[in-house]
Every structure is written in structure tokens, then in C-alpha cells.
């Protein structure tokens, strides 16, 4: 009787190449997650914290000089502080650019 043998193709890969490919794919997936999901969420949270900090500073500063929250004087004080902060940011930006 003749024997029939079935041969299977042999894949000539280095032993670690599959593991390397899986690690690389996992790293790419993590990078994409960070770039498109985590970073925007962190930026939004940081922006919200900044807004809250500025609101608290405005309230503290303006109320220290007798301007109660909700009054027209408080609104004017808060607007004045916003102008001061913007001018400071402009000066810092100009200094960073060498002007």
C-alpha cells in the first residue's frame, strides 16, 4: 500500500515576529486612543478647571472690595480683571517672542 502524505506549508518567520507585531499593534491602538479620546477629554477638563479657578478668583477679589456677586459693580470688576489678565497674557506672549 502506498502512503499518502499531506504536507502543510511551513511559515518561515522569526519566532518573535508575531509577538512584536502584536505589541506594535497594541501600542498603535493605545496611541490612537490617547490622541482621539483621552487628550481631548483632558483638555476639556483642564479648561473647565481654569474657568472655575478664574470665577473663584474674581469672586474673592471683587468681594474683598465690597462688590457682591450679582451686582453691577461686581460685573464691572470681573470685566476689569479679564482685561488685566488679557493684557498680562499679551505681555507674556510678546516677551516669549522676543519683543
pTM, 2 dp:
0.60
Domains of the chain, residue spans: 23-96
Predicted pLDDT at 6: 61
Cβ–Cβ under 8 Å, residues 40 and 50: no
Could you tell me how far CA 71 lies from the centroid of its own chain? Answer: 35
- Measured distance CA(69)–CA(5) in Å, rounded: 89
Could you report the per-residue pLDDT of 68-99, keeping only the tens digit for each?
A: 999 999 999 999 999 999 999 999 999 999 87
Amino acid at each position: 500500500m502506498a502512503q499518502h502524505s499531506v504536507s502543510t506549508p511551513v511559515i518561515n518567520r522569526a519566532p518573535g515576529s508575531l509577538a512584536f507585531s502584536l505589541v506594535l499593534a497594541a501600542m498603535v491602538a493605545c496611541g490612537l486612543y490617547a490622541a482621539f479620546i483621552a487628550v481631548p477629554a483632558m483638555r476639556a477638563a483642564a479648561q473647565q478647571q481654569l474657568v472655575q479657578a478664574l470665577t473663584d478668583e474674581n469672586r474673592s477679589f471683587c468681594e474683598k472690595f465690597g462688590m457682591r456677586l450679582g451686582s453691577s459693580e461686581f460685573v464691572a470688576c470681573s470685566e476689569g480683571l479679564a482685561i488685566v489678565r488679557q493684557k498680562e497674557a499679551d505681555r507674556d506672549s510678546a516677551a516669549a517672542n522676543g519683543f
